Amino acid sequence: AGVDTHGQTHHAAVIDPLGRHLADRQFPATGAGYRQLLSWLGSHGAVAAVGVEGTGAYGAELARVLARAGLRVVEVDRPDRKTRRMKGKSDPIDAYAAATAVTSGRATGSPKTRDGIVEAIRALRLPRRSAVKARTQAINQARQLLVTAPEALRAQLRGLSAAQLAPACARLRPGNLADPIGATKAALRRLGRRILALGEEIADLDAELKALTAQAAPTLIDRMGVGPDVAGQLLATAGDNPDRLRSEAAFAHLCGVAPIPASSGRRDRHRLNRGGDRAANHALHTIALSRMRWD
């Protein structure tokens, strides 16, 4: 079977071992809809496996429901653009394509279970990432304001580091907002307070993530160059069921660090892998830079 997942509905399709289309149907993406889908699949006999598209997004809960029901769930990538141009695009077409990918052996990967401590780490990393981005943006905006600020104000804040700039801006007294200096001080004070608040939020999240990563993988976080942020990213990439990665080479390919053969004729060479999880690739790059500097 195969399922094309969306935010509000899921479309399921069933094929036989020879790849012939048997039936397809749409179900709501709710608890009741999942139960209906399971019952409908069972009405077509024994199901060897279910290919689910989007197990990391709209199909995450469906994948968990199917796994708890004892069905083998296979992660299916969406068809490439060339295939979609040739065969068209619709929910039934995508559902049948997911089922065919499983029976043909093109799709074999197991999805992340997303039911343990690693999923908790992944969830907490999201607000941390947005907080860091917002803090960096606020710092850049404050520095940009100082570029065009009157000299009296620039002289007061010149040469301060990012750590010193935020509290200095937060202590400013705006005065008359109709005056450029007063309005600039008001803007800088708001930005300074925002930077400090985001810094506290990031520190709180870092403490929570450090405790969780130490609990999930104590030996990983003790390695040279691996801090809570890097460890959290690698754990999130592997998932709560890292046994789905059959070898070190499979993890390297997932992270985009496995070289790609690019040989032709007598020329034997490889090229860089531009695919994979780029966040995990960046985490491994951070480890490499740290070890080159300190190891």
C-alpha–C-alpha distance, residues 277 and 199, integer Å: 28
Distances (CA, A) of 193 to 23, 129, 178, 214: 59, 19, 21, 32
Would you give per-residue pLDDT tens digits along the chain (295 residues)? 999 999 999 999 999 998 999 999 999 999 999 999 999 999 998 999 999 998 989 999 999 999 999 999 999 987 766 666 777 788 999 999 999 999 998 888 889 888 899 999 999 999 999 999 999 999 999 999 999 888 888 888 888 888 899 999 999 998 888 888 889 999 999 999 999 999 999 999 999 999 999 999 999 988 999 989 999 999 999 998 888 888 899 899 999 998 888 888 888 888 888 888 999 999 999 999 999 988 7
Q: Give me the numbers of helices (H) and strands (E) for the chain, helices first please.
A: 12, 7
H or E element that contains 53: strand 50-53
Beta-carbon contacts of 166 under 8 Å, excluding residues fewer than 6 positions away, are 139, 142, 191, 192, 195, 196, 199
Q: What is the pTM of this model?
A: 0.81
Alpha-carbon Rg for the chain in angstroms? 26
* Number of C-beta neighbours around residue 171 at 10 A: 10
C-alpha–C-alpha distance, residues 180 and 208, integer Å: 42
Q: Angle at which helices 228-238 and 180-216 pack, to 10 degrees?
A: 60
Residue type, 280: A
- Which tokens sit at 185? 């001080």
Q: What is the pLDDT of residue 75?
A: 93
Residue 260 β-bridge partners? 271
Q: What is the pLDDT of residue 78?
A: 79
C-alpha–C-alpha distance, residues 188 and 174, integer Å: 9
C-alpha–C-alpha distance, residues 61 and 115, integer Å: 10
In this structure, what are the phi and psi dihedrals at residue 50, rounded to the nearest 5 degrees?
A: -125, 120
C-alpha 67: how far from its chain's center? Answer: 22
Per-position DSSP letters for 236-247, written without gaps between them: HHH-S-GGGS-S
Distances (CA, A) of 76 to 51, 56, 73, 172, 179: 6, 11, 9, 55, 60
Q: What is the pLDDT of residue 87?
A: 74
What is the DSSP-derived secondary structure letter of residue 167?
H
